[in-house]
Chain A
Amino acid sequence: MSVIFDNLDLFGQGMATTISLTLASGLIAIVLGLLLAAFRVSPVPSLSGPSGFFVGLMQNTPLTVLFFLVVFGSPKVGFTGITYWTFAVVALGLYTSAFVCEVVRSGINTVAAGQAEAARSIGLTFTQNLSLVILPQALRSVVGPMGSTLIALTKNTSVAVGFSVLELSSVVNQLNETGDAVAALFGVALCYLVLILLMSLGFEALERKVAFSR
């Protein structure tokens, strides 16, 4: 236990980096993911095709390989002087955007066809249909899966430990040098547990708040 308290600053720094990675890459993922989803469902094949291709590419590539490409590849094409933290954010953001896109898309899929048909038959335009009928229902059913995606993102930030980012799980590496790996493992696991369970409680509360009966 004393190992954890003696190195609180190390744990604090690790936690801060994990959270900052999550927030920054989560923002990129949500913005890019919404854009991809809009392209994906649009009746414009030159946008929906590439969007689907990108999503498939990201979903079938291990995050570690993407990290490898971004972290080691970027300096080879002239992106030098950029921190490992930034590279990690880019890799995590790109990867997660594909999952955000699929969450939004399947959220739209959960809206029963009859809803849109009814909206059309009373004369709503495409925009009205989308903004008054489809999206309000879709967004609510998106909250739960979106929460799961962001929780998965938080756990995925740990891949950055293999690419020189000193986030939470790197504390184990750092304390291993002084022979305190086991205590560090307990501490790190505890930190993740608190972080992830808090997040999931938060998203569950949010989900209950926006829940509606069909």
Chain B
Amino acid sequence: MSSGATVLFDAPGPRARRRNAILTVIGGLLVAAIVVVILLRLADNGQFDGVRWEWLQYEGIQRNILIDGLTATLKAFVISAVLAVVVGLVLSIGRLSTNRWLRYPAVAFVTVFRALPVVVLMFIPYFGGSAVFDESIPLLWCVVFGLVVYNGSVLAEIFRAGVLAVPKGQSEAAVSIGLSRSQTLRIVLFPQAIRSMLPTIISQLVVVLKDTALGFVIGYQELLVKGQEVARDPSFQLPYIPVAIVIGAIYIVLCSLLSWLATYAERRTGSSRRPRRAFDTGVGEPVPGDEVLDLPV
């Protein structure tokens, strides 16, 4: 949007340029004012005092957060991501099956578990485990269960949408050379579907990574729980805000890396087929996340 004409705006003439310059100054002042108010509020309440940030220098805390917390978060993420993709593939095969004994259960599974919050899904093994087996299930597996069941269902819909988006001629050609239904899916449809859906799949993995923080609710020892231990320490004057900023920054770095991968994959796989759009700014294109993805429930 920074230079020249876009579809909606003509290349600005002298008047428009002047107006935009004035608006830029006003907007800049407005944004600066908001930032200054927030920073002053933080500074007045001593949130930038050294004592509240001192914990960053302690080796024990560094090890606790960066090694133990981050490892726990990444462990939950990697296990969940791999299992969610597998579950998603299986469910999507079920949904695409011509056998109704496979299709209906898959449809029911996907519909039910996409409609439940991940927190409630984590509650199922968390509370159910001790009630049914008289033994509590390790928290890692409670987190993984919630993430896999939910994201597996979402991924199933993504895979299915990808398969349905493959041009009809492809499956017709596959059938006409004598491939069976499963061969058609395996050799012809899924490879194309996964390729075209790769950006969406990776964006969904960003959701998995973010949702590992829900483990906080059941007390899984991930980044945020480790952060809370520090934040509760009165000798650092209860540094809740510094801790939230640091943990948030760690997540932003991790998610941005994955998001960047999604954008990269999008550019590699789909850019040539995308039609030209109004307002196409070319930079910072939205990465479709699960919240924005419009799939039939």
Contact indicator A99/B289 (Cβ below 8 Å): yes
Q: Residue A20 at the B interface, CB < 8 A?
A: no
Q: How far is the CB of B146 from chain A (nearest CB, A)?
A: 11
A175 to chain B, nearest CB (A): 9
Tell which of A45, A76, A152 touches B45, judged by Cβ atoms closer than 8 Å: A76
User: Is B177 an interface residue when CB atoms closer than 8 A count as contact?
Assistant: no
Alpha-carbon distance A117/B31, docked complex (angstroms) = 33
Whether B297 contacts A200 by the Cβ 8 Å rule is: yes
A105 to B1, CA, bound (A): 13
Known: A45-B1, A72-B244, A116-B278. A64 touches B217 (CB 8 A): yes
In the assembled complex, the CB of A125 is this many whole angstroms from the nearest CB of chain B, namely: 11
Contact A64 B214 (CB under 8 A): yes
Q: Which residues of A contact B266 (CB under 8 A)?
A: none
B1/A192 in contact, CB under 8 A: no
Q: Pick the contact of A172 from B123, B224, B245, B297 — CB < 8 Å?
A: B123
Instruction: Assess whether B132 is in contact with A159, with CB atoms less than 8 Å apart.
Output: no
Tell me whether B279 is interfacial, beta carbon within 8 Å.
Answer: yes
In-complex Cβ contact of B291 among A73, A105, A152, A197 (8 A): A152
Contact in complex: A60, B259 (CB < 8 Å)? yes
Kindly state the separation between the CA atoms of A62 and B212 in the bound complex, as whole angstroms.
8
Size category of the binding interface on chain A: 35 or more
A111-B277, A185-B120, A185-B124 are contacts. A61–B25 as well, Cβ < 8 Å?
A: no
- Determine the chain B residues whose CB is within 8 A of the CB of A197 once the complex forms: 111, 115, 297
Instruction: Check if B241 sits within 8 Å of A76, measured CB to CB.
Output: yes
The A interface is mostly helix, strand or loop, or mixed, namely helix
Question: Residues of A contacting B294 with CB < 8 Å?
Answer: 144-145, 148
- Contact in complex: B27, A46 (CB < 8 Å): yes
In the bound assembly, the distance between CA atoms of A188 and B128 in angstroms comes to 13
Q: Mark A48-68, 1 if CB is under 8 A from B, else 0.
A: 101010001101111111101
- How distant is A56 from chain B, measured CB to nearest CB, in Å? 8
Cα-based distance from A48 to B8 in the complex (angstroms): 15
Query: Do A72 and B231 touch (CB < 8 A)?
Result: yes
**Partner of B279 from A57, A64, A108, A169 at Cβ < 8 Å:** A108
Q: Name the residue of chain B whose CB is nearest to the CB of A183.
A: B131
10 closest A-B pairs by CB = A62-B213, A162-B217, A46-B28, A158-B117, A181-B127, A69-B244, A60-B255, A46-B27, A64-B213, A196-B115
Q: Which A residues form the contact surface with B (CB < 8 A)? A: 39, 41-48, 50, 52, 56-57, 59-66, 68-69, 72-73, 76-78, 99, 102-103, 105-106, 108-113, 115-117, 120, 126, 129-130, 134, 144-145, 148-149, 151-152, 155-159, 161-162, 169, 172, 176, 179, 181-182, 184-185, 188-189, 192-193, 196-197, 200, 204
- 7 A-B pairs besides A39-B27, A182-B127 with CB distance below 8 A are A45-B1, A99-B289, A112-B275, A134-B278, A148-B291, A152-B290, A200-B115
